[in-house]
Amino acid sequence: MPDILCFGDSNTHGSAPLAELGVVRRYKRARRWPWVMARALGAGWHVIEEGHPGRTTVRDDPLVGEHRNGARVLPSMLESHKPDLLVVMLGTNDLKAQFAMTAQDVALGAGRLVDMAQGSGFVGQILLIAPVLVEERGCLAEMFTGAAAKSCAMGAHFAQVAQMRGVAFLDAAEHVAPDPLDGVHLSAASHEVLGLAVAAKLQEIVA
């Protein structure tokens, strides 16, 4: 039974769009994209859901804690789970105004995670997903000032990073868009669409 580790942020965690800061809801397991993916793949697959709201690729966040730096926690997760397939979808939180990162910087951060995984000896195949676009809306608009334009360039940079490292690639923005309530998080309907898209891509990878 292949093990799939889904490593991401709040959109992998299943956080629902926010009407106001501090009021957090999470979709039930069956509605989150990793579990939609699991159903589509069938009983022969085992999904390890590892989404953490606020997680970045390689950056410490002084406001929420360094433990949300993906590079700090990925090695232990790989050593613990030794997944046959690693799915990485991170980068949205790197676009927060406080980090002042370019789209290329964010993609290179994701590339660093791929490098770590490839060098670990604990991973089979890797799928790198460019995250959905960001829209500066609602209660998250100020936090993500300037992110909308940057996010439009991320797909191309992520694709280049994946190609250079010889790993599979999927651009989530080609399949889904953020909910207009907060411009960052996915609706339940979008989780369904994304889960099916990722499942189809993984079936290509292992074919």
Q: What is the pLDDT of residues 95-140, one digit of tens each?
A: 999 999 999 999 999 999 999 999 999 999 999 999 999 999 999 9
Average pLDDT, the chain: 96
Distance CA 99, CA 123 (A): 30
CA proximity to 131, closest of 188, 174, 187, 70: 174
Q: Binning pLDDT at 50, 70 and 90, where does residue 185 land?
A: very high
Residues whose CB is less than 8 angstroms from the CB of residue 195 and which lie 6 or more positions away in sequence, other chains included: 32, 33, 34, 35, 36, 37, 39, 40
CATH label of the domain that carries residue 111: 3.40.50.1110
pLDDT at site 64? 87
Q: How confident is the model at residue 49 (pLDDT cuts 50, 70, 90)?
A: very high
Q: Residue 33 pLDDT > 90, yes or no?
A: yes
Between 64 and 169, the more confident residue is 169
| CA 51 to chain centroid | 8
Please check the confidence at residue 1 and state whether its pLDDT lies above 90. no
Which pTM was predicted? 0.97
Name the token pair of 60. 């410490």
SS3 call for 129: strand
List all residues 6 or more positions away from 207 whose beta carbon is below 8 Å from its beta carbon. none
Q: Is 39 exposed, middle or buried (0-12, 13-18, 19+ CB in 10 A)?
A: middle
Taking Cα atoms as reference points, which of 191, 162, 164, 170 lies closest to residue 179? 191
Residue 177 confidence class, pLDDT cut points 50, 70, 90: very high
171: containing domain: 3-206
Are the CB atoms for 12 and 27 separated by under 8 Å? no
Report the number of distinct structural domains present in the chain: 1
Residue reference for tokens 């992520």: 158
pLDDT at residue number 45: 92
E-strand stretches of 26-122: 46-51, 85-89
